[in-house]
Structure 1
Amino acid sequence: MAAAFFSMLPSIPYPPEQDGRWSPVTSTIDWCEENYIVTQYSAEIVNTLTNLLFMYLAAKGIRSCLVHGHDTVFMVAFIGYLLVGSGSFLFHATLKYPMQLVDELSMIYTTCLMNFATFSYGKSRRYSTFLAMALISIAIFITLYYHYLQDPSFHQNAYALLTAIVLFRAIYIMEVNIRPQFRSKEREAANPRPRGGSASLKAQDDARDLATLRTMWKMIAFGLGIFLGGFAIWQLDNEYCSKLIKWRREIGMPWGFVLEGHGWWHLMTGTGAYYYIVWGIWLRHHLNYKQNEYELLWPNFWTVPDVVRRGFSATSGHVKDRKKEL
């Protein structure tokens, strides 16, 4: 039905799959998108261009870290995020094995970095050093073993495991440090804003923290949902590749581009990963008792979130003069 509708729209017929500027293919994976159908300079044009979202969101995140003074580890995370998008751009444009390694291994390294940021928070220097050495060892092992196996499923499983570990750990930290009934006495005592025994002030802070948790859980649910949705579409792309190619050729360009499942994977997982880093920034400010200095800008689900200093003016690019909130 849908194919019949799109076939009635003005379209450009798909040319035959052909060689291009970067032929032959040396990567261990050749995706469902047909090669060099639009230009000889990009093997998979849709899979290539959808990585521009990674680059845009990475630039947005790096700028936010510079302007608003977020912890350095998140700046490094956004740089890693940029490397993921750039590596994937080059990989899908060329389908060369070295570019495949840049794409896939940068995902592993960035996730290891987020594991360090999550597990090292509040720990001693000795513990953090040991953790860093352990994660570097894991990254080196994955790099060497993946290069030896050249099996994409190994990379995908390793990435999924590292992502799940850091996600569940961050959720645990969020709950035990922000939810009032889970907070320890040590956490309460570390609060630089003494409440002076005021029950009303404590109730206000607890209500604020519960509201924050509700918004954080919305971010987690939305980011994880769109991430897993992209993964599901990618799996359908793998499973029904021959049928999708047939439908694309019946529909013609550019409408057939909508059926490029791996391109949707880039758009959706790129968005989900960005949500995770921004959530990590907001969580870190709460853990540092700076929740009154920063705010989350996320008016609706159709906009990407950002954590900014309170009173920040987007037009002037600096914080407005105003009294600090107590």
Structure 2
Amino acid sequence: MADGISSFWGPVTSTHEWCEPNYVYSSYIAEFFNTMSNIPAIVLAFVGLLIAVTQRFEKRFSILHISNMILAIGSMLYHATLQRMQQQGDETPMVWEMLLYLYILYSPDWHYRSTMPTFLFLYAVIFAITHYVVRFGIFFWLHYALVCLLCIPRMYMYYIYTHDRLAKRLAKFYLATLIVASLCWLFDRLLCKDISHWYFNPQGHALWHVIMGFNSYFANEFLMYCRAQQRGWNPRVNHLGIFPYVKIAKPKEQ
């Protein structure tokens, strides 16, 4: 904690702290950079939501973009307070969001339409309650990594069956940002003791937030393109400045 600045939120009760000194810039924000770095993710998710609504995509994509915003807001509250309750408000939506990705990725080929959303909903509720009661530690990260890994084979299948060059570029941006963000996360987590002695803190965890905001945006747009292709909506990738987005042309009967 910085000299002369007290904590508005009281003692730290979260199970994790990150490689950033607490309460340096404000008594209301424990980890300033880790908190503010979630803002780009909220903005990008809002842009994605506008695209999904104006292009009349299925509601699943609106919910996906909203879940991205909820996750970023939960992360802001966690890093601002370093309280156990807010930590769960960050970690639980992380799992819920990945369950939503599993639904979007696998539901097109699922023959029993009601079983998958019912199972995933019940799983999400049970996980949230169990995580609150048991307070998972390393098991949370192993579980989260497993759920993420379940998405990769399907994303790869969508990639190899996509022939549009600009759409494939969205998938490549998704993979590149995922790798870079993961390296930033590991760098901040594993080398924190060394970084604390450096003159300049590269803020690896804050960079993780920013890059993962772009990662989610690219992933969502690529999945929107693939879904539009499945529905015969003639998707194409346009650009608004430097931002790629998917434009569709639904048949009139739809």
Q: For residues 26-80 of structure 1, what are the alpha-carbon distances to aligned partners after superposition, in whole Å with 9 as ceiling and x for unaligned? A: 1111111110001111000000000001110111011111111111100000010
- Shift in Å, 1:18: 5.5
SS in 2 for 1:155: helix
- Shift in Å, 1:129: 1.2
Verify: 1:164 aligned to 2:149, yes or no: yes
Residues 56-205 of structure 1 mapped to structure 2, 5 A cutoff: 56-124=43-111, 127-173=112-158, 175=160, 178=161
- Shift in Å, 1:219: 2.1
SS in 1 for 2:108: coil
Larger of the two Rg values belongs to structure? 1
Q: For residues 58-106 of structure 1, what are the alpha-carbon distances to aligned partners after superposition, in whole Å with 9 as ceiling and x for unaligned? A: 1101111111111110000001001000100111111111111111111
Q: 1:241 aligns with which of 189, 192, 208?
A: 192
- Shift in Å, 1:243: 2.0
Structure 1 residues 92, 24: CA separation in 2 closer, same or farther (over 3 Å shift)? same
Identity among equivalent positions (%) equals 24
CA RMSD of aligned residues (A): 2.4
SS in 1 for 2:232: coil
Q: For residues 157-216 of structure 1, what are the alpha-carbon distances to aligned partners after superposition, in whole Å with 9 as ceiling and x for unaligned? A: 2222222212322432554xx46xxxxxxxxxxxxxxxxxxxxxxxxxxxxxx3x1x433
Task: Decide whether the 8 Å contact of 1:18 with 1:35 is kept in 2.
Answer: no
Question: TM-score of the superposition, structure 2-length normalised?
Answer: 0.89
- Give the ranges of 4+ consecutive aligned residues of structure 1 lying more than 6 Å apart after TM superposition: none
Task: Decide whether the 8 Å contact of 2:167 with 2:237 is kept in 1.
Answer: no
Verify: 1:296 aligned to 2:237, yes or no: yes
- Shift in Å, 1:288: 0.9
Verify: 1:53 aligned to 2:18, yes or no: no
Q: 1:224 aligns with which of 165, 171, 175?
A: 175
Amino acid at match of 1:81: N
> How far, CA to CA, are the matches of 1:162 and 1:267 in structure 2?
22
Amino acid at match of 2:183: A
- Shift in Å, 1:260: 0.9
Task: Decide whether the 8 Å contact of 1:237 with 1:262 is kept in 2.
Answer: yes
Unaligned runs of 5+ in 1: 1-13, 180-209, 311-323
Unaligned runs of 5+ in 2: none
Structure 1 residues 152, 263: CA separation in 2 closer, same or farther (over 3 Å shift)? farther
SS in 1 for 2:236: strand
Q: 1:43 aligns with which of 30, 39, 62?
A: 30
Amino acid at match of 1:163: C
Structure 1 residues 285, 221: CA separation in 2 closer, same or farther (over 3 Å shift)? same
> How far, CA to CA, are the matches of 1:115 and 1:304 in structure 2?
25
> How far, CA to CA, are the matches of 1:17 and 1:268 in structure 2?
33
- Shift in Å, 1:309: 4.0
Structure 1 residues 116, 174: CA separation in 2 closer, same or farther (over 3 Å shift)? same
SS in 1 for 2:13: coil
Q: For residues 263-317 of structure 1, what are the alpha-carbon distances to aligned partners after superposition, in whole Å with 9 as ceiling and x for unaligned? A: 01101122112211110001101111112xx3212489xx33211246xxxxxxx
